[in-house]
Structure 1
Amino acid sequence: MSDQPDKPFLQIVVCASGVAADVGKLITAAHERHWDVGVIATPQGLGFLDAEAVEAQTGRPIRSAWRSPGEPRPTRPADAIAVAPASFNTVNKWAAGISDNLALGVLCEAPAMGIPVAVLPYLNSAQAAHPAYRQSLERLREMGVLIGSYEPHRPKAGGGADRYRWEEALELLAPKLSAPA
């Protein structure tokens, strides 16, 4: 699936979360909508993925670290970004402007570069009740970030994977960027 310049490029940012292993569902949905896809994982998110399966599905390596100076850019710029699943930690760091890993660096720059971003949080209700999280979502909305509708699950119960709508990221992005049919 390497670079296909005739197709829009969707960068998926994956965070450490119980549903991260199912990111293939979003990749499949994006391919069905004629997107070329790449994946960036947070350092902790890498451990939640089957890297071989994701790389086979996208045709490119998962990125998790910055490239070295002088190294060529591994992908073309994204036409859109989906953060799915987005963890409590990533949402709060991103809204605060913390760029301490590749995923956050990309996210902190995207709105100012005019790249549409959809975020599908996956967290529990205790995390969602924290005032910093609510403030972070509001700040992201002010930046033009599109926020998904997932209702947090109960703490220590896990779950919610059956209610996590991967395709919602593409639905949120559709009005911002139309892919060829």
Structure 2
Amino acid sequence: MTAAAPTSGPLPTEEEYPSVHLLLLVTGSVAAIKTGLLLDQLSTERCNIRIAATKAAFHFLRRAQPSKTGIPFQSIITDEQEWSEWQAMNDSIVHIELRRWADIVVIAPLNANTLAKVATGICDNLVSSVMRAWEVRAKPVIVCPAMNSAMWTHPLTATQLSQLETIYMDPQTCAARKAVAAEAEQPATTEPATRQQESATTNTTAAVPAGADAATPICEAAHLPPTLAESMFQIVGPVSKRLACGDIGIGGMASVEEIAAHIRHTMELIREDKRRQFREARAKVPVADPAIVVAVASPVKPPSAEPEKTSPAADTPASAKAE
């Protein structure tokens, strides 16, 4: 799926506005019904989107909420294609090809099962295999958790998200993020009950699971990352809402608007990095000497090795001709 660049005039060149390859991974959570709505949010972006989904995800994708874009079911890559497209040596392997193709991966929704698989390196389906082969600290990963409150607040969730942050972020950036998170956790002047209520209703921060150690480096999406290095691992959500079981609590996937905001911002960081690569590549091209260019454009005829022959009449004086 390809969306046009946001411009009213002629389309910009690839160097001016590079396209981005976005891989969307969908897992088995009721929040998968919002996949079409998320695609609507990205319909004006100049990006190529591929979708891969787990078997469980299709249970919810078939019940997706109506959207303008719709869900391209015929284009969704499945576990079956992972096996059927490889028949002999040198055939392409789907999860490796997707890993090479993508500039950014977004897991929306990320359920507890896939979180546990990715954090521990299990790769028993297409989605988990893509993440097992992902270029860590080179290409951004955005995860959008969606699970029951009991699962989100379980200590394992905090541990697994912490593991992913350590894997996907470089140590210095990860340490800086810990410092910012620790500073944000300092007691404020707001009453504890008020702070708790604000934390439960906000849609702009990722809640820290209860029972997590205070030093656990859970990535809070309180702001958009200013640099590409800081965007390598982002957690968007979850939020408090009425969940699939009917309970009201933390664990719902963030709004598609918020997820799209993180995706758009990260894609712009990727575009800027691609522009930089274009500039560096152009700067490495040797510039020809202007004098040589002129000489090549207007060649001078070389002198002849033999003396030029002249006719006898040309050497005869004018008086002799008159006689």
Kept in 1, the 8 Å contact 2:26–2:32? The answer is: yes
Closer, same or farther: CA 163–137 of 1 in aligned 2, 3 Å: closer
- CA shift, 1:114, in A, is 1.9
Structure 1 position 12 matched with structure 2 position 24: yes
Closer, same or farther: CA 43–120 of 1 in aligned 2, 3 Å: same
Report the counterpart of residue 102 of structure 1 in structure 2: 126
Question: Structure 1, residues 39-65: CA drift from partner, whole Å, max 9, x if none?
Answer: 110121122213994117xxx610122
Structure 1 position 125 matched with structure 2 position 149: yes
Report the counterpart of residue 44 of structure 1 in structure 2: 56
Larger Rg: 1 or 2?
2
Closer, same or farther: CA 111–136 of 1 in aligned 2, 3 Å: farther
Higher relative contact order (CA 8 A, sep 6+): 1
- CA shift, 1:157, in A, is 1.7
Normalising by structure 1, report the TM-score: 0.80
Aligned equivalents of 1:12, 1:152: Cα separation in 2: 24
Q: Find the partner of 1:55 among 72, 76, 82.
A: 72
Computed over aligned residues only, the root mean square deviation of the Cα atoms, in angstroms, reads: 3.3
Aligned positions, number: 177
Identity %: 24
Question: Normalized per residue, which structure has more helix?
Answer: 2
- CA shift, 1:151, in A, is 2.6
Report the counterpart of residue 148 of structure 1 in structure 2: 236
Secondary structure of the 1:115 match is coil
- CA shift, 1:115, in A, is 1.9
Secondary structure of the 1:177 match is helix
Aligned equivalents of 2:139, 2:112: Cα separation in 1: 22
Closer, same or farther: CA 3–113 of 1 in aligned 2, 3 Å: farther
Report the counterpart of residue 177 of structure 1 in structure 2: 267
Gaps of 5+ in 2: 5-13, 65-69, 170-232, 272-323
Report the counterpart of residue 164 of structure 1 in structure 2: 254
Structure 1 position 33 matched with structure 2 position 65: no
Structure 1 position 80 matched with structure 2 position 100: no
